[in-house]
Amino acid sequence: MLRLTKKADYGLMALKYLAEHPDSVSVSAKDIADTYGIPPQLLAKVLQRLTKVGLLRSHAGMNGGYELSREARRISAFEVIHAIDGPLFITSCTKGSKSCDLEPNCTIKEPLARVNESIAGVLKSISIYDLVDAETAAGRSAEMLVTLMHS
Amino acid sequence: MLRLTKKADYGLMALKYLAEHPDSVSVSAKDIADTYGIPPQLLAKVLQRLTKVGLLRSHAGMNGGYELSREARRISAFEVIHAIDGPLFITSCTKGSKSCDLEPNCTIKEPLARVNESIAGVLKSISIYDLVDAETAAGRSAEMLVTLMHS
DNA sequence: CAGTATAGGACTGATTTTGTCGCAGTTCAA
DNA sequence: TTGAACTGCGACAAAATCAGTCCTATACTG
Ligand code: FES
Ligand code: FES
């Protein structure tokens, strides 16, 4: 349950890699795929998607590749996951498109929406930079959560 | 993404139903399935699973059915989801059974484990009773979270 | 015993996820 | 100007997971 798709995982790994190599002007999908041992073409698609939503800047051609469009500190895990896996909804029926047939009966959706918000809050409080410098993540996460809950 | 399986949804709905009908000594799977319009046999399996892990008590035979094994306030959404959807967590590679092949390279797992804990915390702070009396859920959730984070 | 209910294994079909292939466009540098 | 090394897509195939059904056994009630 509640598991991230591999694509999202790949995306986070790639962004982390980019954050760790700010010196390189741009890194190709293949480079990242090779170092992590993940399917190059699949990673390429993930990175293309991240580019499309504006988290990355791409550069075609020889010595081309990708670079972060903002500093790692300003890219949240939520954005990445949202871009790749789509809007995260804990309820099995996606409220967005088509409400499920048990809508009138199901009273579980509402309270679970709050849980959803909490989770989104946690994810928003984690930045790519936090993945690099893992130690700071816990503290920041707790801080953000408290303020989030008081709002 | 991050969506609950329908089974887990059904399980939560059923438990909520049971919490709302404490007067009835026991309720059959069919009763619940009918009121919510979900496949009876599927719900039956879910309830069987919940019985197996001790969240419900079952009673075969005529006028048989299920009842909560504890008060609704003491059954968390986490337990229900965990029982039905299994222990798999936000990291795509289940740490429990078999570590994925990119284990040595992937440095993302660790920080994400914290996120995982936070989410589990939220789920643990929601009880079946909170689903019934939805208004209180938000408050309790926030409270629990803050204490959780400070531990 | 007859009827109703849980218990659970096996199985099929639907849906989602994961990964591949092929081709078109872009950039760079020899 | 040619070709190698890239990104950008769309379609597709393979694999895994989920949802739902069926069938049989067992337990309890009256
Ligand atoms: S399961 Fe669809 S509205 Fe709750
Ligand atoms: S994806 Fe398996 S260890 Fe990170």
Ranges of each domain in chain A: 6-150
In chain A, % helix, strand, coil (3-state, to 5) comes to 60, 5, 35
Hey, is A2 helix, strand or coil?
Answer: coil
Q: Is A100 touching B (CB cutoff 8 A)?
A: no
Q: Cβ–Cβ contacts within 10 Å for residue A22, how many? A: 11
Matching residue, tokens 């589990």: B120
pTM of the model: 0.84
- Answer whether any strand D atom is within 7 A of the Cβ of B94: no
Contact check, Cβ <8 Å, B91/A130:
no
pLDDT at residue A113, as a whole number:
80
In this complex, the residue with its CA at the shortest distance from the C1' of nucleotide D26 is B60
Q: Is B137 touching A (CB cutoff 8 A)?
A: yes
* Contact call for residues B148 and B125 (beta carbons, < 8 A): yes
* Contact call for residues B53 and B68 (beta carbons, < 8 A): no
pLDDT at residue A146 greater than cutoff 70: no
pLDDT at residue A150, as a whole number:
38
How far is it, in rounded angstroms, from Cα B94 to Cα B11? 23
Chain D: positions less than 7 Å from a protein CB are 3-10, 18-23, 26-30
- In tens digits, chain B (151 residues) has pLDDT values of 577 899 999 999 999 999 999 878 889 999 999 999 999 999 999 999 999 999 999 999 999 999 999 999 999 999 999 999 887 676 655 443 344 555 555 567 777 877 888 888 888 988 999 888 765 555 455 554 444 443 3
Quick one: CATH architecture of A6-150? Orthogonal Bundle (1.10)
Ligand number with the minimum distance to the CA of A103: 1
User: Which structure tokens are listed for A55?
Assistant: 């988290």
* Contact call for residues A93 and A20 (beta carbons, < 8 A): no
Nearest to B149 by CA among A55, A62, A138: A138
How far is it, in rounded angstroms, from Cα B56 to Cα B45? 13
Q: Is A138 touching B (CB cutoff 8 A)?
A: yes
Q: What is the largest CA-CA distance in chain A?
A: 58
Ligand 1 centroid distance, CA of A100 (Å): 6
pLDDT at residue A127, as a whole number:
92
User: Which structure tokens are listed for B83?
Assistant: 């029982």
Contact check, Cβ <8 Å, B105/A8:
no
CB pairs under 8 A between A and B: 162
Ligand 2 centroid distance, CA of A140 (Å): 23
Interval B74-86: pLDDT, tens:
999 999 999 998 8
Chain C: positions less than 7 Å from a protein CB are 3-9, 17-22, 25-29
pLDDT at residue B150, as a whole number:
37
Helix B40-52 to helix B77-85 angle (10° resolution) is 110
- Answer whether any strand C atom is within 7 A of the Cβ of A87: no
Q: Ligand 2 atom 3: the closest Cα is on which residue? A: B103
What are the angstrom distances between the C-alpha of B23 and each of B26, B29, B68, B129, B130?
Answer: 9, 16, 12, 15, 19
What are the angstrom distances between the C-alpha of A93 and each of A6, A48, A90, A109, B57?
Answer: 22, 28, 8, 9, 29
Hey, is B76 helix, strand or coil?
Answer: strand
Q: Which residues of A touch B82 (CB under 8 A)?
A: 1
Interval A5-32: pLDDT, tens:
899 999 999 999 999 998 788 899 999 9
How far is it, in rounded angstroms, from Cα B131 to Cα A107? 8
User: Which structure tokens are listed for A12?
Assistant: 């986070």
